[in-house]
């Protein structure tokens, strides 16, 4: 009879151990799937940030901002908090950018342009760091000339 009780206890322990291993495996698969999706969404945010920087002195700046806003609404939860905040600040402030020399006589416009470029650079950095990648550098005003962007 003791052997039967020991057998039942061993079977119960074995079943419990199998259940814990299966649960851990499911959790690992879930984390891997989420991480893969998070990498993809950070890459999409980076592409949109780059498109935003390319359209700063273009007529389609509002279209690009709307794309960024719509994307942010549908994908914000995949981004780290830092990346989400920086990305949103960058696209919200981008409409203040004006190409110098085209009505840029408004006092303080040059400083506002620098602010927008800084915000986009910070967004790029936060997005790259959000998935554990080393940030390689940011945009500079000279990088935004129409010749270099096409």
- pLDDT (tens digit per residue) in 3-48: 777 766 766 677 766 766 666 667 767 677 778 888 899 899 999 9
Task: Retrieve residue 8's tokens.
Answer: 């039942």
What is the C-alpha separation between 68 and 45, in angstroms, rounded?
8
Reported confidence tier of residue 148, pLDDT bands at 50, 70, 90: very low
Percent of the chain with pLDDT over 70: 66
Residues 6+ apart with CB under 8 A from 55: 61, 63, 64
Q: What would the mean pLDDT of 58-85 be, rounded to a whole number?
A: 89
- 60 DSSP assignment: T
Residues 6+ apart with CB under 8 A from 52: 64, 65, 68, 90, 91, 94, 120
Asked if 114 and 95 count as a contact pair (C-beta separation under 8 A), the reply is: no
Q: What would the mean pLDDT of 113-128 be, rounded to a whole number?
A: 83
Residues 6+ apart with CB under 8 A from 106: 98
Query: For residue 72, which of 98, 42, 101 has the smallest C-alpha distance?
Result: 42
Q: Write down the pLDDT at residue 149.
A: 42
Please give the residue that has the higher pLDDT: either 113 or 75.
75
Compute the mean pLDDT over every residue in the chain, rounded to the nearest whole number. 75
Q: What would the mean pLDDT of 67-95 be, rounded to a whole number?
A: 90
What is the C-alpha separation between 66 and 71, in angstroms, rounded?
8
């Amino acid at each position: 009879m003791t052997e039967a009780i020991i057998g039942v206890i061993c079977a119960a322990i074995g079943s419990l151990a199998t259940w814990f291993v299966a649960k851990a495996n499911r959790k690992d698969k879930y984390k891997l799937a989420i991480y893969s999706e998070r990498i993809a969404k950070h890459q999409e945010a980076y592409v949109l940030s780059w498109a935003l920087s390319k359209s700063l002195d273009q007529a389609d700046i509002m279209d690009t901002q709307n794309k960024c806003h719509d994307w942010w609404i549908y994908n914000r939860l995949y981004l780290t908090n830092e990346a989400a905040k920086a990305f949103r600040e960058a696209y919200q402030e981008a409409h203040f950018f004006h190409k110098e020399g085209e009505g840029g006589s408004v006092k303080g416009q040059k400083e506002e342009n620098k602010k927008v470029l800084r915000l986009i650079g910070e967004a790029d950095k936060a997005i790259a760091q959000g998935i554990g990648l080393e940030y390689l550098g940011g945009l500079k005003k000279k990088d935004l000339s129409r010749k270099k962007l096409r």
